[in-house]
A and B are shown apart, each in its own frame.
Chain A
Amino acid sequence: MKREILNFFEMKIPSKSINEGFARMAVSAFASQTDPTIEQLAEIKTVISEAITNAVVHGYQNEPGIIHVKVSLLKEKTLKIVVKDKGVGIPDIHKAMEPLYTTGNADRAGMGFTIMQTFTDKLKVVSRPGKGTTLTMEKAL
């Protein structure tokens, strides 16, 4: 069953690391209309930061690309965040989601997916090698 969308915004941003902070501000400003707690807002900022960073670092391998973000406010006070890249994709999603698993360098902790899972109520990853990755998260507020 399709749930009613009360409000949404969409944006396309180039895969530049400076946009990680911008995306956090944009999404937290949008989420503010539901009067979230400070802790919920910190969690929302963290998960969007993890998702955008993954698109920049892993999806596009620090090369230019476009990241598509859609954030919706669903009925029953649920925030839905979709982050899409057309990067390299994930060959083994199950493995990628294991805590501490990373294909990155020493500046990566392999905790992005674990954090996104812990700080949201639903996390769905759809990915095809060579095609890209779409991340869908839902968080009740």
Chain B
Amino acid sequence: MIEYQTKKEKTVIFLSGDIDHHSSELLRKEIDEIIRKTEPEETVLDFSGVTFCDSSGIALVLGRYKLMNAAGGKVTLCSLPKSAKNIFLMAGLDRFVRIKEEV
């Protein structure tokens, strides 16, 4: 189970562990369930507990952006490990989501 906090129109989802092809499908389902349940205007994905992230994380973020954008909402990423930030910028994710240092 992923932990999350919701206040006002903002839901903060705390990701942890390795994000790869092995983990990302379940992760996607859990995140989308939280978004469906809380219907936020802004979804914040907090990466501070993430120990590894490859291109599966790019698809995960892009998919959540599409989901939120379709409902008129936005996605923010925070506390990205350096290597994750590198590959996210490589994919141009910063055109779609806000990348913050802290929550």
**Residues in chain A within 8 A of chain B (CB atoms):** 17-18, 20-21, 24, 39, 42-43, 45-46, 49-50, 53, 56-57, 99-100, 106-109, 111-112, 114-115, 118
Contact = CB atoms under 8 A, between A and B. Distances in A.
B49 to A, nearest CB: 16
A115 B87 contact: yes
B20 A21 contact: yes
Contacts, number: 74
Contact of A17 (B21, B60, B81, B91): B21
A106 B59 contact: yes
A112 B57 CA distance: 11
A40 to B, nearest CB: 10
Given A21-B22, A109-B91, A49 B52 contact: yes
B63 A56 contact: no
Contact of A42 (B20, B21, B83): B83
B24 interface: yes
B18 interface: yes
